[in-house]
Amino acid sequence: MLLNIEDYRRRACAVLLRFVHDYIERSADDGHCMRRNAGDLSAIELTPRVLRDTTQVDTSVEVFGRKWAQPFGIAPTGLNGLVRPEGDRLLAAAVGEAGIPFSLSTASNMRLEDVRAAAPGGVQWMQLYVMRREMASQIVERAQKDGYQALALTVDVPVSGNRELGTEAKAD
């Protein structure tokens, strides 16, 4: 039974090819940013409210004039298809059904049109890394034509980081 993040990590380590596991789980260079991010997330605490009427709970929020069923969305993650064939399409369809927004990564291994078609009524954004202007222009035009509602310009990776290798995942 998978009960927590560590359970999922162990299962992933056991079934994924090493290079796929390392891509998902490992950090770049010395892991400083990953440790800081983990620390920041650990510092967030949810405060429970007790003795309240919970017969009608509404977790929705309005973002840019659109109602989201939950106060979060699915951030862009590259190469989801390495973990699960057609991973982006499956994610977009599932969260679209749940009323949760999905942001497609520039590094998706699926066509943006196919992912959009998986959840035509869902909120979908397109992430954009500008590697070459002509390629970026084509992505923007295609995303706009297919009904992506927003563009998430990503500028944090001017060069690729040196990915750290792990030893836990099974060999290729």
- Please indicate, yes or no, if residue 164 is contained in any of the structural domains: no
Residues 66 and 18 in one domain: no
Residues 36 and 63 in one domain: no
Residues 28 and 71 in one domain: no
Q: In angstroms, rounded to a whole number, what is the distance separating the alpha carbons of residues 63 and 103?
A: 14
pLDDT in tens, 14-60: 999 888 888 888 887 788 888 999 999 999 998 988 999 999 999 99
Residues 138 and 88 in one domain: yes
Structure tokens at 60: 């929705």
Please report which residue ranges of the chain form alpha helices under DSSP H.
5-15, 18-25, 32-42, 80-83, 87-97, 112-117, 133-146
The full DSSP string for 112-148 is: HHHHHHT-TTS-EEEEEE-SSHHHHHHHHHHHHHHT-
Q: What values do phi and psi take at 62, rounded to 5?
A: -110, 125
pLDDT in tens, 56-72: 999 999 998 889 999 99
Q: What range defines the domain where residue 19 resides?
A: 1-42
Residues 96 and 154 in one domain: yes
Q: Are 112 and 92 in contact (CB under 8 A)?
A: no
Domain count, the chain: 2
Residues 77 and 118 in one domain: yes
Residues 72 and 32 in one domain: no
Q: What's the whole-model pTM score?
A: 0.81
- Please indicate, yes or no, if residue 131 is contained in any of the structural domains: yes
pLDDT in tens, 78-119: 889 998 999 999 999 999 999 999 999 999 999 999 999 999
Residues 106 and 31 in one domain: no
Residues 132 and 75 in one domain: yes
- Please indicate, yes or no, if residue 114 is contained in any of the structural domains: yes
Q: Which residues of 40-59 are buried (b: 16+ CB within 10 A; e: fewer)?
A: eeeeeeeeeeeeeeeeeeee
Residues 86 and 140 in one domain: yes
Predicted pLDDT at 166? 58
- Please indicate, yes or no, if residue 172 is contained in any of the structural domains: no
Going by pLDDT thresholds of 50, 70 and 90, the confidence category of residue 172 is: very low
- Please indicate, yes or no, if residue 53 is contained in any of the structural domains: no
Q: Are 70 and 60 in contact (CB under 8 A)?
A: yes
